Structure 1
Amino acid sequence: MDMPNRGLEPLRVPDEFWHRDDVAAGLRDRDVGALFKLIQRYTGASQTQLGIAAGLEQGYVSRIMAGRKVMAIDVLERIADGCAMPDHARITLGLAARGSLDTVALAIADGSSSTRFDHGSPDQELESLELARRVAVTDVGEETLARLEQAVDDLATRYPVTPPDELLQAVRRHLSYVARLVEARKTLGEHQRLVVVGGWLSLLAATLDIDLKHHRAARAHLRTAQALALQAGHAEIHAWCLETKAWSVLTDGDYSHALALSQAAQRIAPPGSSAHVQATAQEGRAWARLGQRKETSDALNRVAKLVSPMPRPDRPEHHYRYDPGKAVAYTATTLAWVGDPAAESYAREVIYRMRTAETAGRWPRRVASAQLDLALALLAVEKLDEACAHAQNALESGRVVPSNHWRALEVVAAAESRGLLEARDLRETYEAMRRGA
């Protein structure tokens, strides 16, 4: 059954593969044969490559794929390692998470300490007291952690109003500080809270990188955020990671991938959480870009149902606390993309709400996006002059981030395709905005 050179190279299986419904079913049922077939279909790996990765003979892989059950834990472990299976998939398969032992093990079995427990000593009470003393030693403290957690909320609240490059600098400074604290002495509880703080900050950094089209940095920050979410067992951060990646690939035009990621995020997110709502809204936008009206409408209806019992948060500007008022803006965008004339009334409502005295100045980016949505909707119903005026206002606002330039270009291109006189001015303004990004 074993190969002499086993486990030479793990298979390169994309993370989103492990969030597919058929993969989840195979993991729950421990149907390794079905998993192998799905990996083959998704990656093109041969039976020989599967065997090399998992350290199994090709013939044994063939028998597994023909229906032979795999019950031995050591074989399942080798298969999980060979497929680079993430922790949430390992757990579904019935295996321990790879990242779940390191923190406690290092805290208790720290080889650098001069203190040793005498396991032959009858005085076990003193041993327990010594362990408690060592675990309680900290250079971090409650005040530092509380201020860091507050900083996460403050930074996330600044997201709608602060230029992304400026906010990213602040987020990176906080990440650097958290990294130093991770190396400091601290309790296990403090370590857990630091991991969560680091997860949120890495996620926000990734979001800002996406806004700025810093693709490599965005991928790195998303990987870090997801790893920290798994270590902390924080389902909402994990779901936000997938939703954020969904938005990133959607802006790059990969709508089917965005759809799969947004649906995976919904499966992971705590039911009714902000991440759950946002991922559902993202699914609607992906369906809209794919031109599927029925599925788009279904997603919007699910968002409305999720949002209806939600109170307005104390800080509605907070990027990771879903504001029910945001649903109107998402509906405007989604309907504009799918070509529904109803987008016009929703976009007008967003602009009206955002420009009231109560919210003036709090949502400049959302206003700019709504103006682009309204322009696209107005072009569709031949209200050409007004469409160009709203598009011009959005382009001149300085609030269309690089990741949304493609949305602005859609409006410019639509105006040009109609031969409008205003199209030339729109193009010039768009190019100036793009050069200044």
Structure 2
Amino acid sequence: MHGNAFDPIHIPAWVWDRAETRDILKNRDVAGLFNIAVKYAGASQVRISTATGIAQGRISQHIRGLRQVTDLEVFERIATGLGLPDHARMLFGLAPLDTASPTGNHGDEHQEQADELRTQLEAAATVDTTMVMILNTDTNNLRLLDRRLGSAAIADKMRAQMAQIERAHRHAVRPGIRAQLARILAETASLAGWQAINTGALNDAWNHYENAKAAARGADEPAILAYVSAEQAYVLMDLGQPAQATELLQYIHTTHRDRIPARLRTWLAAAEAEAAAILGDEATCRHALAQAAALLPDGPGDPDMPYLSIDAHHLARWRGNCLVRFGDPGTVEDLRSALAGMDGTYNRAESALRCDLGHALLALGEPQAAQGHIQRAQQLATMTGSSRQRKRIDELVRAVKLALN
């Protein structure tokens, strides 16, 4: 019987002692665990969803092997929702709930846990400054690939990179190495968050940014903390909450302004302008854009902040994105200037820019000129898997058709 969707899931105690179940736990095989709940507790996907707080559609994806769990908080929810006893929790890589007697009569499992921890600590102890540099380079390369190809093309590489850094950071003992790993973890989780925003997975994005913020605090990196906190504001914008996004961005700027570089302050001001534009607050938007222009340093970028792309051309693109909402006649020239200055590696950003340019040309009554940009935007959005852009492109395509008929 499936039972009520809100009934607790009770899996018989003997199931956790089966060799097959122990292997599932050791491998953190979420699909295997959900299948155990179905087989031995008669739990439906809806019931598992209610117990774990994971959307039913994602439960189905996990069971079919289409989605992987990487966040510790999600593993914890699964363990709690399925009622894992302490020895099963430990095999699953989680702390026992009964710390006074974590293993009961399961001495073998306790020893296995101790052996596994010892192995993880020994592996983490081999991470030195050279290894940190390699991991940092790998994240930078993933960032470059993401700009060109989008998240879908590098999804497996991103999961592997996140898992490797998280594992090394969790078991690193030396403070210096641990702080360096925390910095890389913050940057990588932030990249994962931006990828999730562009695919429309806003809950995943929010969780990635929470992980990124925690890592940035552990690294004692005010600039990275400010950046990942501000990127999280885009989740609020896409949720239709630009007022909260604006409030968050203003708070971050006020709190961190004396401890972060001018280029990052430029980026924060531009992000605030975008949130204000979505709100329809033209005065605040223009003030923030003027502030961003005044703060922008010379040069293309800062090697200490590879995650940050903001120069005169990027700012022109941002200005056009904001002011197109207010019918500013100078928007087309801003956007054409930005397009001319792009280096050809920012395919997803170019898709957004061409959307803005198409929008601006439509507003000027030039649908034929707009059509070419919108078609190119559509090609780039498809290539990079940006569902965020495709929604807007669909609206512009309909607007062009109406204008041409």
CA change 1:166–1:315 in 2 (3 A) is farther
CA change 1:193–1:253 in 2 (3 A) is same
1:337 alignment partner in structure 2: 325
1:289 alignment partner in structure 2: 278
| Aligned-partner Cα distance in 1 for 2:311–2:304 | 5
1:363 alignment partner in structure 2: 346
1:328 alignment partner in structure 2: 316
Letter in 2 for 1:251: D
| Aligned-partner Cα distance in 1 for 2:194–2:156 | 13
Whether the 8 Å CA contact 2:269–2:291 is kept in 1: the answer is yes
Letter in 1 for 2:389: N
CA change 1:261–1:220 in 2 (3 A) is same
Q: 1:250 aligned to 233, 237, 255, which one?
A: 237
| Aligned-partner Cα distance in 2 for 1:149–1:259 | 31
The superposition leaves residues 375-402 of structure 1 with CA deviations (integer Å, 9 ceiling, x where unpaired) of: 1111111112212332222223335611
Is 1:408–2:400 an aligned residue pair?
Answer: no
Q: Report the CA distance between 1:351 and its aligned residue.
A: 2.2
Q: 1:229 aligned to 216, 236, 242, which one?
A: 216
| Aligned-partner Cα distance in 2 for 1:315–1:421 | 47
| Aligned-partner Cα distance in 2 for 1:257–1:185 | 37
SS of equivalent to 2:156: helix
| Aligned-partner Cα distance in 1 for 2:200–2:168 | 30
| Aligned-partner Cα distance in 2 for 1:184–1:241 | 24
Letter in 2 for 1:207: W
Whether the 8 Å CA contact 1:157–1:315 is kept in 2: the answer is no
Q: Report the CA distance between 1:272 and its aligned residue.
A: 3.2
| Aligned-partner Cα distance in 2 for 1:353–1:317 | 21
SS of equivalent to 2:148: coil
| Aligned-partner Cα distance in 2 for 1:243–1:255 | 13
SS of equivalent to 2:168: helix
Q: Report the CA distance between 1:234 and its aligned residue.
A: 1.6
Length-normalised TM-score, structure 2: 0.63
Segments of 5+ residues of structure 2 without an aligned counterpart are 1-123
| Aligned-partner Cα distance in 2 for 1:210–1:344 | 27
Q: 1:276 aligned to 252, 265, 279, which one?
A: 265
Letter in 2 for 1:405: R
2:378 alignment partner in structure 1: 395
The superposition leaves residues 138-195 of structure 1 with CA deviations (integer Å, 9 ceiling, x where unpaired) of: 3221211121122232222333212212234322211111122235454111111111
Q: Report the CA distance between 1:410 and its aligned residue.
A: 4.1
SS of equivalent to 2:376: helix
Q: Report the CA distance between 1:209 and its aligned residue.
A: 1.0
1:211 alignment partner in structure 2: 198
Q: 1:346 aligned to 334, 341, 346, which one?
A: 334
| Aligned-partner Cα distance in 1 for 2:396–2:210 | 34
Whether the 8 Å CA contact 2:230–2:248 is kept in 1: the answer is yes
| Aligned-partner Cα distance in 2 for 1:158–1:410 | 28
Letter in 2 for 1:281: A
402-411 or 364-373: which moved more? 402-411
Q: 2:365 aligned to 373, 382, 405, which one?
A: 382
Whether the 8 Å CA contact 1:168–1:205 is kept in 2: the answer is no
SS of equivalent to 2:403: coil
SS of equivalent to 1:161: helix
Q: How much identity, in percent, do the aligned residues show?
A: 21
| Aligned-partner Cα distance in 2 for 1:327–1:192 | 32
Q: Report the CA distance between 1:317 and its aligned residue.
A: 11
Q: Report the CA distance between 1:316 and its aligned residue.
A: 12
1:260 alignment partner in structure 2: 247
| Aligned-partner Cα distance in 2 for 1:412–1:253 | 23
Letter in 2 for 1:377: A
Q: 2:301 aligned to 291, 304, 313, which one?
A: 313
Letter in 2 for 1:283: E
| Aligned-partner Cα distance in 2 for 1:203–1:239 | 11
Q: What RMSD in Å do the two structures reach over aligned CA positions?
A: 2.5
Q: Report the CA distance between 1:411 and its aligned residue.
A: 2.2
Letter in 1 for 2:253: Q
Whether the 8 Å CA contact 2:148–2:348 is kept in 1: the answer is yes
The superposition leaves residues 232-271 of structure 1 with CA deviations (integer Å, 9 ceiling, x where unpaired) of: 2221222122221222222332221221122123234434
Whether the 8 Å CA contact 1:289–1:338 is kept in 2: the answer is no
2:157 alignment partner in structure 1: 170
Q: Which has the larger share of helix? A: 2
Whether the 8 Å CA contact 2:223–2:261 is kept in 1: the answer is no
Whether the 8 Å CA contact 1:160–1:317 is kept in 2: the answer is no
Whether the 8 Å CA contact 1:272–1:306 is kept in 2: the answer is no
Matched pairs, number: 278
| Aligned-partner Cα distance in 2 for 1:178–1:195 | 8
Structure 1 consecutive aligned stretches of length 4 or more whose deviation exceeds 4 Å: 314-318
